């Protein structure tokens, strides 16, 4: 590789001119964000431009200033236009306003642009960055759109609020295939799946089932599944035993921060959010408002996110130069406060000086840490989903949720009297536990009751009109529903769970 050794200023001036005139430059959208965002973005852009990134930047405003103008989504329509035009987004962290009325902009951007895969690489940089786990090298592949992040929440009674957990078959298949394809491309050996399907047998169950199905297509790859609680404990204790981990959204959100932190710091991990058409690259940490404007923050997370972006836009050559220079800087002990240690660091620097140090090392490789190589890996990973026949779907009953105060037996007896020829009460649960018939007085109950109505002949198909007539009878008898869920069979198999204790 060419060994250039320029000063930061020389490269800066030289490249900004060159960039404006370069014909093969790729348009990208950049948001400078809130808190420490502008400082780490300035540092990152300076480095990648100095390395020769062939990019043309469109700057958009998102976050605090936009929320401040009364736009509750935190993003304006002109910003969406830029994102849809460039299809590549380098984003600094933003501050999510506290309180109701504001949606998380990060979730909005990921979901609106269909960024289904969130990739976070958490290796150890031991001994240069302190970690208790020098052997760890984990890639977290997190499902990015589904699960509890639909933000579909309702207060249904005085006592009870609800958040819907949605897991889809294609959403799960896409992320699981992505994890296996990623593992293959980057020469990894094992893919681990975490779920809680001993409890959530249907939602987490489908994720696990698809993992088992897809893993059979990758006989070259080891695969394993852990229940997320013990899996998380093992991850925190012996991370070197994991390689690629694929998880549903919430577990991925939590455990990718754990993985990043135990690798050294949340400040040194970048993430790629990949969709079919658009991709977004960001640090995993937030806007750290208390550090803002002090030239203290570690820009490494965003720098490594920019490296992933360069690979994504086919500039693996530049990505490699930046990443190796960053590794060399870390190895040389030039560290920001968050990773500074008397034992391993040589110089404590600010954000801007850290960027200068990386720029000074462009073209050099680390000698102890393993240098990276990206040349052959520039094509985005493409995922094809399996065509599946639509299952036969039959309505066989309805769960009707009531807001009611009293004891389960009184409710049960009243509802038994309300049955129709097609549908009658088979069970009542309170927060999922069966309380009628045959409940125990010890079970604590709140004002939210799930009342299951099915045909007397188990699993006999009923009509929507049958459901409407039981609903109408309930309303006229003084039991207005707060919501209903249809009970369906899919190819003859129940698409609903039993009550706890049923």
Token match 């959010």: residue?
273
Which neighbouring-strand residues pair with 394?
A: 489
Check binding of 111 to ligand NAD (CB under 6 A). Answer: no
Check binding of 144 to ligand NAD (CB under 6 A). Answer: no
Query: Contact with ligand NAD (CB under 6 A): which of 95, 329, 429, 454?
Result: 95
Both tokens of residue 283? 């640090």
Query: What gap in Å lies between CA 292 and CA 273, rounded to an integer?
Result: 25
> Contact 436/451 with Cβ under 8 angstroms?
no
Burial class (CB in 10 A: 0-12, 13-18, 19+), 109: buried
Please, which residue, 251 or 374, has the CB nearer to ligand NAD? 251
Check binding of 96 to ligand NAD (CB under 6 A). Answer: yes
Query: Contact with ligand NAD (CB under 6 A): which of 120, 188, 285, 452?
Result: 285
The span of 65-73, 190-198, 289-297, 326-334 binding ligand NAD (CB under 6 A) equals: 289-297
Residues of span 297-336 touching ligand NAD by CB under 6 A? 297-298, 301
Check binding of 356 to ligand NAD (CB under 6 A). Answer: no
The span of 50-58, 294-302, 384-392, 440-448 binding ligand NAD (CB under 6 A) equals: 294-302
Query: Contact with ligand NAD (CB under 6 A): which of 262, 266, 309, 372?
Result: 266
Distance of closest approach, residue 27 Cβ to ligand NAD, in angstroms: 22
Check binding of 208 to ligand NAD (CB under 6 A). Answer: no
CA dihedral 167, 150, 147, 285 (to 10 degrees): 150
Check binding of 54 to ligand NAD (CB under 6 A). Answer: no
Residues contacting residue 368 through CB under 8 Å, at least 6 positions apart: 128, 331
Please, which residue, 299 or 397, has the CB nearer to ligand NAD? 299
Check binding of 269 to ligand NAD (CB under 6 A). Answer: no
Please, which residue, 269 or 425, has the CB nearer to ligand NAD? 269
253-276 in b/e form (b: 16+ CB < 10 A) is bebbbbbbbbbbbbbbbbbbbbbe
Query: Contact with ligand NAD (CB under 6 A): which of 338, 356, 399, 422?
Result: 338
The per-residue DSSP string of 60-123 comes to E-BSHHHHHTT-TTSB-HHHHHHHHHH-EEEE---PPPSSTT---HHHHHHHHTT--EEEEEEE
Both tokens of residue 324? 């190796």
Please, which residue, 266 or 428, has the CB nearer to ligand NAD? 266
Check binding of 260 to ligand NAD (CB under 6 A). Answer: no
Query: What gap in Å lies between CA 487 and CA 353, rounded to an integer?
Result: 62
Check binding of 408 to ligand NAD (CB under 6 A). Answer: no
Binding residues for ligand NAD (CB under 6 A): 36, 93-96, 106, 266-267, 282, 285-288, 290-291, 297-298, 301, 338
């Amino acid at each position: 590789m060419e060994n250039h050794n320029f000063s930061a200023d020389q490269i800066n001036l030289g490249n900004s001119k060159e960039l404006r005139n370069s014909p093969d430059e790729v348009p990208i959208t950049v948001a400078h964000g809130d808190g420490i965002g502008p400082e780490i973005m300035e540092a990152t852009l300076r480095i990648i431009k100095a390395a020769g990134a062939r990019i043309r930047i469109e700057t958009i405003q998102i976050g605090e200033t936009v929320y401040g103008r009364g736009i509750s989504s935190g993003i304006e329509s002109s910003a969406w236009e830029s994102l849809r035009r460039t299809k590549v987004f380098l984003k600094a962290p933003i501050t999510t306003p506290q309180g109701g009325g504001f949606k998380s902009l990060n979730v909005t951007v990921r979901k609106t642009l269909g960024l289904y895969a969130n990739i976070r690489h958490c290796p150890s940089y031991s001994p240069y960055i302190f970690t208790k786990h020098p052997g760890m090298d984990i890639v977290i592949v997190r499902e990015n759109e589904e699960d509890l992040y639909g933000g579909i929440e309702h207060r249904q009674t005085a006592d009870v609020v609800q958040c819907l957990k949605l897991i889809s078959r294609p959403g799960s298949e896409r992320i699981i295939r992505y994890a296996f394809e990623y593992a293959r491309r980057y020469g990894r050996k094992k893919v681990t799946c975490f779920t809680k399907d001993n409890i959530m047998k249907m939602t987490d169950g489908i994720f696990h089932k698809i993992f088992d199905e897809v893993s059979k297509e990758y006989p070259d790859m080891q695969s394993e599944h852990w229940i997320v609680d013990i899996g998380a404990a093992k991850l925190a204790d012996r991370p070197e035993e994991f390689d690629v981990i694929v998880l549903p959204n919430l577990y991925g959100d939590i455990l990718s921060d754990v993985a990043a932190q135990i690798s050294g710091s949340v400040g040194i991990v970048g993430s790629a959010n990949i969709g079919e058409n658009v991709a977004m690259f960001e640090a995993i940490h937030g806007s750290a408002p208390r550090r803002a404007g002090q030239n203290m923050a570690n820009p490494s997370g965003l720098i490594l996110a920019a490296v992933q972006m360069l690979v994504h836009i086919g500039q693996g050559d530049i990505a490699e130069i930046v990443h190796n220079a960053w590794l060399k800087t870390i190895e040389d002990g030039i560290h920001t406060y968050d990773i500074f240690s008397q034992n391993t660091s040589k110089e404590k620097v600010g954000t801007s000086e850290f960027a200068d140090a990386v720029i000074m090392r462009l073209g050099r490789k680390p000698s102890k840490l393993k240098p990276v190589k990206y040349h052959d890996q520039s094509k985005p990973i493409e995922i094809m989903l399996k065509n599946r026949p639509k299952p036969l779907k039959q309505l066989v009953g309805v769960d009707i949720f009531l807001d009611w105060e009293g004891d389960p037996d009184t409710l049960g007896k009243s509802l038994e009297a309300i049955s129709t020829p097609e549908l009658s009460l088979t069970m009542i649960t309170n927060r999922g536990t069966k309380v009628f018939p045959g409940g125990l007085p010890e079970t604590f109950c709140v004002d939210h009751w799930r009342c299951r109505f099915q045909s007397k002949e188990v699993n006999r198909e009923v009509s929507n009109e049958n459901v409407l007539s039981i609903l109408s009878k309930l309303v006229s008898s003084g039991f207005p529903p707060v919501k209903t869920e249809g009970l369906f069979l899919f190819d003859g198999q129940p698409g609903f769970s039993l009550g706890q204790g049923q």
